[in-house]
Amino acid sequence: MGAHVPLLHNNNIMANLRPKDLSKLGFTDNITRSLITTIVAKNYKHQSNGEISELLTALKNDPGGYAAHPELGKIAQSMVSEERECTFKSFDLLTTSRTLKVYGAREIEYSAKQQMETAMSLPISVQGALMPDAHAGYGLPIGGVLATAGAIVPYAVGVD
């Protein structure tokens, strides 16, 4: 017997086909793992653990060979990435930053002030504020408030 990665713990596939098992086989994309779980539970519930492992390993090694397969085609297509052209827009920082109100400036870390100054130079910035307990965050300082025009900034919310 060769090396075998146990995929399932018993024959009840729906209860035991886990993302962790699929990761061990090299399936790390969440969409692909979800497809595998659904398709295997529906179409391969009477196959042994070894058969399913072998099938998924073969699929992983040659997704193009399974593109027209009636059950596994969707999985194969999710694994084959198509190149597509994306256009990106680049913006320059403003030469003068927008209005920033600072409360308790003496108590605020220098790095938090620098982060906020950079944020205030973004073209989408309208105005901002730093609270007395502000300190460095991921995108904005924790305790920083940024008003923007026509934009949502995912890292503009900090967590202590």
Report residue 154's pLDDT band, with 50, 70 and 90 as the boundaries.
Answer: confident
pLDDT at 83: 59
Q: Which of 79, 109, 131 is the last residue before a domain boundary?
A: 79
Q: Which of 48, 79, 110 is the last residue before a domain boundary?
A: 79
**What is the C-alpha R_g of the chain?**
26
Question: Is residue 85 situated within a structural domain?
Answer: no
pLDDT at 58: 94
Distance CA 44, CA 70 (A): 13
Question: Is residue 44 situated within a structural domain?
Answer: yes
User: pLDDT tens digits, residue range 100-118?
Assistant: 999 999 999 999 999 999 9
User: pLDDT tens digits, residue range 36-90?
Assistant: 989 998 998 888 877 888 899 999 999 989 989 999 999 998 888 655 677 888 8
Question: Is residue 2 situated within a structural domain?
Answer: no
CB atoms within 10 A of CB 34: 14
Closest CA relative to residue 39, chosen from 1, 79, 9: 79
Q: What is the pLDDT of the chain when averaged over all its residues?
A: 83
The position carrying tokens 């790390």 is 28
- Parent domain of 136: 99-156
pLDDT at 80: 80
Question: Is residue 89 situated within a structural domain?
Answer: no
pLDDT at 126: 94
Domain count, the chain: 2
Q: Identify whether residues 73 and 107 lie together within a single domain.
A: no
pLDDT at 157: 63
Give the DSSP H/E element, type plus range, for residue 32. Answer: helix 30-43
Q: Identify whether residues 151 and 105 lie together within a single domain.
A: yes
Q: Identify whether residues 72 and 112 lie together within a single domain.
A: no
Question: Is residue 68 situated within a structural domain?
Answer: yes
Q: Identify whether residues 19 and 62 lie together within a single domain.
A: yes
pLDDT at 8: 42
Of 16-30, 99-113, 133-147, the poorest mean pLDDT is in: 16-30
Q: Which of 79, 111, 131 is the last residue before a domain boundary?
A: 79
Q: Identify whether residues 105 and 75 lie together within a single domain.
A: no
pLDDT at 136 over 50: yes
Distance CA 48, CA 36 (A): 16
